[in-house]
Amino acid sequence: MITFDHVSHGYDGRPVLRDVSLTLGERRIGIVGANGSGKSTLARMLNALVLPDTGTVTVNGLDVAKNKRQVRRDVGFIFSDPDRQIIMPTVREDIELSLRRTSLSKDERARKATDVLTRFGLGAHLDHPANRLSGGQKQLLALASILVTEPRVIVADEPTTLLDLRNAALLRRTFAGLDEQLIVVSHDLEFVGDFDRVIVIDDGRVAADDTPAAALAFYRARMTT
């Protein structure tokens, strides 16, 4: 369960989120809204990348501002720009790094890395330099490196921007099969169309919060008038 209690945030004195209160309990929640409306700022609060100026964000009962380390273990954050997330020289090493805090042996980590990379179509690239992957392949690697740690909550900020149709479908199927709570910021309205709930952010406020059909209809109407 995630809560936002009267949360506001501004950059350099310019308000970006304005008194947002939400309780997020559904398994798959989409966040949509115009460019610059505050979606990424809201998402980043879920693992303390951005802290509220006023108000409180909690994840599974923990105040994010006071429990950064634990919250970052519980919340896997997938950036829209995978270069922000890929650290190690090779594809395999990047996944193995994600597993360093687990109790798995070296062999088990290697096996798990091979399994997850094969699942995401990167099995032929295990020992390739990560920075030579295509943009979409990097996005899949970033996703794999988060999923392999089995976080309790996954937050993904525009996860499909670099993916072709086949890999966007792979991502959709993967997300549909996860037990973890999933919060996805997206401009791909089809992607969030079968989620449990969609929230529309407009100028730092919650403008609609409903079933996908109702919220997306509201958003489409708002964007065309």
Contact set with ligand ATP (CB under 6 A): 11, 16, 33, 35-41
Q: 45 near 51, Cβ under 8 Å?
A: yes
Closest distance between ligand ATP and the C-beta of residue 62, in Å? 23
Closest distance between ligand ATP and the C-beta of residue 93, in Å? 30
CB nearer to ligand ATP: pick between 81 and 93: 81
- How much is the CA Rg of the chain, to the nearest whole Å? 18
Question: Which pair of tokens denotes residue 67?
Answer: 């429990």
Closest listed residue to residue 183, CA positions, set 170, 165, 196, 201? 196
Closest distance between ligand ATP and the C-beta of residue 37, in Å? 4
Closest distance between ligand ATP and the C-beta of residue 38, in Å? 5
Closest distance between ligand ATP and the C-beta of residue 32, in Å? 9
CB nearer to ligand ATP: pick between 204 and 212: 204
CB nearer to ligand ATP: pick between 33 and 212: 33
CB nearer to ligand ATP: pick between 49 and 133: 49
CB nearer to ligand ATP: pick between 40 and 98: 40
